[in-house]
A and B are shown apart, each in its own frame.
Chain A
Amino acid sequence: MILNSLLLNNFRLYKDAKIDFSPSINYLIGGNGQGKTSLLEAIYFMCTTKNFKAASDTELLRFTSDFYSVEGFFSNITDDNVKIYYSNADNKRIYSLNNKSVTRTSDIIGRFPIVLLTPQDHAITQGTPADRRKFFDSVISQAGSRYLMNLMEYAKILKNRSALLGTISFSQRTDLMEELDAWNEKLVLVGSEIIIARKNFVREFMPFFSDAFKSVTGRNDAAGISYTYLGNGISDEIADSRIQDKFHELLKIRRNEELKREVNLVGPHRDEFIFTLNSSPLRIFGSQGEHKTFQVALRFGQYFFLKDKLNRTPVILLDDVFGELEAKKASAISEHLNELGQTFVTMTDFSNVSLLDKSKDNLFINIQNGTATYA
């Protein structure tokens, strides 16, 4: 998939801009607050219908404007154009695909695969277990819609179940225990599907991740991902057919504790993914640099996985990633980018531009106060 050009109207700093892109690497160069990241934001927005900075529409609206629009022209399996139009008066976004308005955003999601690397990725390896689950959930969801639907249903079950735990412990009504049993069954049915999907994903993802890790480091270190669920350790896997039984068992063991604390204590919402480097846990022993490499490798692993799964080449967005890497690694990555699909890289004008690959296909775009000029 290639984004050929982008039209922006009243989006962030951009009043009225049309920018053509290279099918290879596009370096977006400019000072802070000039609108580099806004371009990545617009591209990500079109491909996923979501804003990665979780900005509200009024934040996206250029000062004193009453509408914004973002439109992109893609070469995909066919030539596609995607447009997002927002008017302040209606306070509504209209998505359209090939000039026809789209009511279900799932018609767009998955059709334009995209991989984003941002400084916020540090949370994947250094943040909480919830940050890691969020990363894996988003990748698995991109590759198939059933998983996302299960996640949404699971969230609904958790809410109902914790409300019930609260009612039982507040009222001390024993007649509600049978109701809890019913919710347990529902929790186990949907929760087990999520666990099995995650197990399968980690297995499928591993080769893509290993390759990406080797490319980024150029070394033969063993980088691992372990998925722990239902309270088991790294090495003892539970067979798919045993998961439901094990789930029920744990619910029985922890019932009193759940009632006391009025919290759902068992299930995939408490899973953890553990990253290891040469068998030692990254979270404890990893250096800053090792964490960073891991994050980059996870994202490139995502790229290769999606490319294989969806049979479309994802677009890659790198937001201010080179600034944090050592020069050697940055130039190694820069070399790799040439072999991948279309890439957008933001850089501040004082970053080391000399380490960039200056081959003919790559485009250098200067961004200044919401206008783009070609260098």
Chain B
Amino acid sequence: MDSRVFNQGEKLNIAEPLQRAIEEFSKFPGIGRKTAQRLSLFLLKTNEDSFNNFINSMVDLKKKLTFCSRCYNISEDELCEICRSPKREKTTICVVEEASDIIAIERTNEYMGMYHVLGGVLSPLSGMTHDRLKIKELLTRLKDENIEEIILALNPDTEGDATTLYLLNLLKPLGIRVTRIARGLPIGGDLEFADEATIGRALTGRIQL
């Protein structure tokens, strides 16, 4: 077969604006070239109204959103909805890595306290030291607010664990109750399908009934 028919080089015969849209979409996490192409063509075919809705929501995302000045959650105003809400328990702070973790915890409807987003974890290997996390800000809150308990809810990996240990050393002398979320088996999961590390940790962290 003549290889010139199937041009695999950089010059594709696609209209330039479409090509640019595809390029932009493929920068998204989890989006490959083919999906980017589908999304672009979908937008092209969609009617004027829904297209504008989409574009406006994207513009608002960047224009209207900022970070909460107290807990660094994603927010529309100076303070996020959680920090403003009178219904929340003001004496407990749950410390998380990223704002996306708040969304995960909020979906449970189990937690009624406040949050604090660190913006990452300690990782000397990638240059993340304590001063690049919102730790000073957390300590200031402890002075200004009347906090009784800090819940550390960082990811259970090497860097998350080191950060938890760091915060623990920092917070313990302040006389505040510090707890860490439990680690163990997923609900509705089969014990036999869990990996050895999870089962091992669930056994180590067993609780008396």
A positions within 8 Å CB-CB of B: 145-146, 149, 153, 156-157, 159-161, 163-164, 167, 175-176, 178-179, 181-183, 185-186
Contacts and interface: CB of A to CB of B under 8 A. Distances in A.
Contacts of B159: 160
Contacts of A159: 125
Interface string B74-99: 00000000000000000000000000
Contacts of A160: 123-125, 158-159, 162
A81 B65 CA distance: 57
Given A159-B125, A163-B124, A182 B169 contact: yes
Interface string B121-139: 0111100011100000000
Contacts of A183: 122, 124, 162
Contacts of A146: 196-197, 200
B205 to A, nearest CB: 14
A164 B166 contact: no
B165 interface: yes
12 contacts: A146-B196, A161-B124, A163-B124, A164-B129, A175-B130, A178-B130, A178-B166, A179-B122, A179-B129, A182-B163, A183-B162, A185-B162
A183 B129 CA distance: 12
Given A175-B130, A186-B162, A163 B125 contact: yes
A10 B197 CA distance: 39
| Chain A to chain B: the 5 pairs with minimum beta-carbon distance, closest first | A182-B166, A164-B124, A163-B124, A182-B165, A163-B125
B161 interface: yes
A179 B125 CA distance: 13
Q: Which secondary structure dominates where chain B touches chain A?
A: helix
Contacts of A182: 122, 162-163, 165-166, 169
Given A149-B197, A178-B130, 5 more contacts: A160-B162, A163-B124, A164-B124, A179-B122, A182-B162
**A interface majority secondary structure:** helix
Nearest to A167: B124
Contact of A149 (B123, B130, B196): B196
A156 B169 CA distance: 22
B5 to A, nearest CB: 20
Interface residues of B, number: 19
B170 interface: yes
A145 B196 CA distance: 7
A161 to B, nearest CB: 7
B204 to A, nearest CB: 11
Interface in B154-209: 158-159, 161-163, 165-166, 169-170, 196-197, 200
B184 to A, nearest CB: 16
A164 to B, nearest CB: 4
Nearest to A190: B158
Contact of A167 (B129, B161, B162, B200): B129
A164 B125 CA distance: 7
A181 B129 contact: no
Contacts of A185: 162, 165
